[in-house]
C-alpha cells in the first residue's frame, strides 16, 4: 500500500470541502446523461503528472494529496521546490509537501516503465477526450467561450477558442453520481481569481475532464477548480488555488502555494426497500422497510411518495402507510446522499375493495316445513368463503355461496351471512325477522258432506259435524259459506231458502249466520298446541223458509262448509 492509499481519508475531506463551498443562481445549460467516462488508466494514480517537470515556488501552502510523477530525463525529473528526500537509486522519493510518493524516470526500476506507461495513458486519455463529439449543436461555443454564471448538466461541450471562467461555474449531476462532463477547448483555459467550480446533486470531480489544446490552463489565485485537466501545454496554479482533481500536463506544472487533491470516487446511493403486504383489502396497512445503501462517508435522507403523485408523504427511514382507496399504487422511494446524489426505486401496492356481504331469499314466510332459497349478492365478486347462520340453531349451517335451507318448525328467524375475501377481510350482513314460518296445523272433518233432512211441519233443521285438530302451536278455526248466495239450495237447484245458513260457535248453543266471505269468517273453535284425541263439534242450523213458500217433506238439501285456519 503506498502513501496515497494510506491518506485516502485526508483526500476525501478535502474533496468534501471543495464540493460543498456554496451554490449560486446560474443559467442552466442542458446536457446529456449517459456520456461515457474517459479512461485515465495508469495516469489515474497521479495527482500531478508532467512530461517536462513540476515546480513549486516559494509561496507557502503547497500541498499535493496523492502521487506525483515526471517523465523529464533530468535530475529528479525536473521536479523543483519540493525538497525531495531520497536518492536516485530509490524507486521513489518523498516530500513534506506531498502526501504520496514522487516518481521520475531517473529513479530505480520499475519506476521508469511505470512513468512511461502513465504518460502514454495520459496522452491516450487526452486523445479520447478531444475526439469526442459534442452532445448537440447547443453544446458548441457556449457563451462564446466566456462562461459567466452558467450551470452545466452532464455532456460533451466544445469550444473552438480559448475559454475563461470569470464567475462561479456550476456542474449539476441532477442526482446521478455517475454523470460525466467532457469540456474541450482550442486555446487556453482560465478561471479567475477566487472563482469556483461548484458541484451539485451528486456531481463528482473524478468524472469531469478538461481537454485543453494549444494553450495553458491557469487557475487564478484562491480559485477552486474541479476535474481532471488534460493539457497539451502547461498547467499553472496561482497562489492559494485549489484543484480537486488531477493536473496531467504534456509540458510542465507550476504551483504557487497551491493544493492538488486526487478526488476519491464516491459510491452512488442505491434505493431499495421491501413492503408487506403487497396487496390486501381496504383499509390496508403496509410496512415499508428501507434497504438502501450509500457511500460510507455520506449520510442519507428518504422521500416516500406512496401513490407516486409527486407529493412526498413520509421522510422517515421505514414508515407504515395506510391505504384507504381501492386501486394499484406505485410507491416511489427517492434517497439523497449528503453530496446531493439521488436514486429511486419503485414498488407496487394493490388495494382491493373491502367485501360487502349481501343476499336475498325466497320465500320469506310460509308454513313449516318451509324451504327457503338464499342467493349471495356480495361484492366485489370473487369472495373465497361464505358462512351462513340461518338462525334456527341448525348445526349444518351452510358454507356454500347460495344455499337452500329448510325450516322445520314455526318461528321468526334472523339470518346472517359472513363473507371472507382472499386477504382474509370479512364482512357480515344480518337480517332480523328474515324468515317467518307457521307451525303445522291439520284439521280432520267427519260427517261430511252434510245432509239436512227436512221434516214436514218443522221450521228449522240442524245437524252436527265433528272435527279433530292436530297442531304444534296455538290455533283457531274459522268458517264461512263457500256458496256466495249464503242460502241453501235444494238438490235440484230449484228451491231456494231465504234464511242464511247458521253455525254454532264454540260448542255453545248460540247460532250465528255463516258469512259468505273469508273476510267475515267467524271463529268456530280455538285451542293450544295439541294432538286431539277428542272431537270438536260444529253445529249447523237452517231455518226452513223457501222463496216459493212450498217445501215438500223429506227433501234433502246440501251445503258446503269451508273451514279456514286462522293466523297462528
Q: How far apart are CA 542 and CA 450, in angstroms?
A: 12
Cβ pair 499, 545 in contact under 8 A: yes
Q: Is the pLDDT of residue 20 over 60?
A: no
Out of 4-8, 67-71, 219-223, which region has the weakest mean confidence (pLDDT)? 4-8
Q: How far apart are CA 435 and CA 441, in angstroms?
A: 19
Place of cell 320465500: 363
Instruction: Report pLDDT digits (tens) over 33-53.
Output: 569 999 999 999 999 999 999
**pLDDT (tens digit, 9 = 90+) per residue, 243-258?**
999 999 999 999 999 9
Angle at alpha carbon of residue 265, lines to 262 and 269, rounded to 5°: 155
HEC profile of 32-56: CCCCCCCCCHHHHHEEEEECCCEEE
- Between CA 179 and CA 21 the distance in angstroms is 20
Range with the poorest average pLDDT among 160-174, 261-275, 423-437, 502-516: 502-516
Express each pLDDT in 90-114 by its tens digit: 999 999 999 999 999 999 999 999 9
Question: CA–CA separation, 252 vs 70, rounded Å?
Answer: 9
CB atoms within 10 A of CB 403: 20
Domains of the chain: 3-261 (no CATH), 273-352 (2.60.40.10), 359-438 (2.60.40.10), 441-565 (2.60.40)
Any idea what DSSP says for residue 74? Answer: S
* pLDDT above 80: residue 509: no
Q: Is the pLDDT of residue 54 over 80?
A: yes
Higher pLDDT, 394 or 413: 413
Q: Is the pLDDT of residue 555 over 60?
A: no
The answer to whether residue 159 scores a pLDDT higher than 70 is yes
Q: Is the pLDDT of residue 25 over 50?
A: no
Please give the pLDDT value at position 175. 92
Asked if residue 259 has pLDDT above 60, the reply is: yes
- Is pLDDT of 14 > 50? no
- List Cα–Cα distances, 145 to 134, 161, 165, 167, in angstroms: 15, 6, 8, 13
Q: Which residue has the higher pLDDT, 519 or 124?
A: 124
Place of cell 490552463: 217
**Residues 333-374 pLDDT 10s:** 999 999 999 999 999 999 988 899 999 999 998 878 889 999
pLDDT digits (tens, 9 = 90+) for 124-155: 999 999 999 999 888 999 999 999 999 999 99
pLDDT digits (tens, 9 = 90+) for 455-494: 555 667 777 777 777 776 677 777 777 666 666 665 555 6
48 grid coordinates: 500531478
- pLDDT above 70 (res 60): yes
Global pTM value: 0.62
532 pLDDT tier (thresholds 50, 70, 90):
low
- Sheet holding 475-481: strands in order across? 522-527, 475-481, 561-565
How many CB atoms sit inside 10 A of residue 203's CB? Answer: 31
Instruction: Identify the pLDDT of residue 316.
Output: 98
Confidence at 506, pLDDT banded by 50, 70, 90 = low
Residue 5 has pLDDT above 50, yes or no: no
Q: Is the dihedral of CA 266, 271, 272, 276 positive or negative?
A: positive
Measured over the CA atoms of residue 164, residue 170, residue 175 and residue 177, the dihedral's sign is: positive
Does residue 538 or residue 58 have the better pLDDT? 58
Amino acid at each position: 500500500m503506498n502513501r496515497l492509499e494510506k491518506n485516502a481519508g485526508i483526500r476525501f475531506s478535502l474533496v468534501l470541502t471543495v464540493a460543498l463551498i456554496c451554490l449560486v443562481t446560474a443559467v442552466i445549460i442542458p446536457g446529456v446523461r449517459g456520456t461515457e467516462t474517459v479512461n485515465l488508466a495508469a495516469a489515474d494514480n497521479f495527482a500531478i503528472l508532467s512530461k517536462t517537470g513540476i515546480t513549486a515556488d516559494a509561496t507557502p501552502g503547497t500541498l499535493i494529496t496523492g502521487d506525483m510523477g515526471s517523465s523529464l530525463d533530468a535530475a529528479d525529473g525536473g521536479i523543483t521546490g519540493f525538497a525531495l528526500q531520497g536518492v536516485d537509486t530509490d524507486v521513489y522519493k518523498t516530500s513534506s509537501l506531498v502526501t504520496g510518493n514522487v516518481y521520475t524516470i531517473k529513479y530505480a526500476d520499475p519506476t521508469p516503465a511505470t512513468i512511461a506507461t502513465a504518460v502514454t495513458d495520459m496522452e491516450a486519455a487526452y486523445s479520447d477526450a478531444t475526439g469526442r463529439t459534442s452532445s448537440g449543436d447547443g453544446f458548441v461555443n457556449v457563451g462564446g467561450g466566456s462562461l459567466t454564471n452558467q450551470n452545466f448538466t452532464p455532456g460533451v461541450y466544445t469550444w473552438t477558442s480559448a475559454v475563461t471562467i470569470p464567475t462561479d461555474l456550476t456542474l449539476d449531476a441532477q442526482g446521478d453520481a455517475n454523470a460525466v462532463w467532457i469540456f474541450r477547448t482550442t486555446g487556453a483555459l482560465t478561471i479567475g481569481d477566487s472563482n469556483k467550480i461548484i458541484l451539485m446533486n451528486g456531481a463528482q470531480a473524478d468524472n469531469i475532464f478538461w481537454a485543453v489544446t494549444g494553450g495553458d490552463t491557469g487557475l487564478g489565485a484562491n480559485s477552486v477548480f474541479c476535474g481532471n485537466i488534460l493539457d497539451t501545454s502547461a498547467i499553472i496554479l496561482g497562489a492559494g488555488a485549489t484543484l480537486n482533481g488531477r493536473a496531467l500536463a504534456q509540458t510542465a506544472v507550476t504551483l504557487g502555494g497551491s493544493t492538488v487533491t486526487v478526488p476519491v470516487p464516491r459510491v452512488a446511493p442505491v434505493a431499495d426497500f421491501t413492503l408487506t403486504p403487497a396487496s390486501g383489502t381496504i383499509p390496508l396497512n403496509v410496512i415499508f422497510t428501507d434497504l438502501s445503501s450509500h457511500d460510507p462517508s455520506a449520510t442519507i435522507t428518504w422521500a416516500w411518495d406512496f401513490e407516486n403523485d409527486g407529493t412526498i408523504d413520509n421522510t422517515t427511514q421505514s414508515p407504515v402507510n395506510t391505504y384507504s382507496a381501492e386501486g394499484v399504487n406505485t410507491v416511489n422511494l427517492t434517497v439523497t446522499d449528503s453530496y446531493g446524489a439521488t436514486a429511486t426505486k419503485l414498488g407496487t401496492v394493490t388495494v382491493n375493495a373491502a367485501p360487502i356481504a349481501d343476499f336475498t331469499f325466497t320465500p320469506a314466510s310460509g308454513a313449516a316445513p318451509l324451504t327457503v332459497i338464499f342467493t349471495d349478492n356480495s361484492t366485489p365478486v370473487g369472495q373465497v368463503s361464505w358462512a351462513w347462520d340461518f338462525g334456527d340453531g341448525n348445526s349444518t349451517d351452510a358454507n356454500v355461496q347460495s344455499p337452500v335451507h329448510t325450516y322445520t318448525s314455526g318461528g321468526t328467524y334472523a339470518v346472517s351471512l359472513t363473507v371472507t375475501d382472499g386477504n382474509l377481510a370479512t364482512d357480515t350482513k344480518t337480517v332480523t325477522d328474515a324468515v317467518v314460518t307457521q307451525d303445522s296445523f291439520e284439521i280432520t272433518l267427519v260427517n261430511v258432506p252434510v245432509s239436512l233432512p227436512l221434516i214436514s211441519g218443522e221450521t228449522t233443521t240442524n245437524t252436527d259435524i265433528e272435527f279433530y285438530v292436530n297442531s304444534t302451536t296455538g290455533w283457531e278455526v274459522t268458517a264461512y259459506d263457500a256458496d256466495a248466495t249464503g242460502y241453501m239450495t235444494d238438490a235440484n237447484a230449484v228451491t231456494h231458502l231465504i234464511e242464511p245458513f247458521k253455525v254454532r260457535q264454540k260448542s255453545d248453543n248460540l247460532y250465528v249466520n255463516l258469512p259468505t266471505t273469508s273476510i267475515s269468517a267467524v271463529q268456530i273453535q280455538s285451542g293450544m298446541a295439541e294432538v286431539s284425541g277428542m272431537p270438536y263439534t260444529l253445529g249447523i242450523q237452517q231455518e226452513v223458509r223457501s222463496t216459493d213458500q212450498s217445501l215438500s217433506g223429506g227433501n234433502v238439501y246440501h251445503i258446503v262448509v269451508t273451514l279456514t285456519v286462522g293466523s297462528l
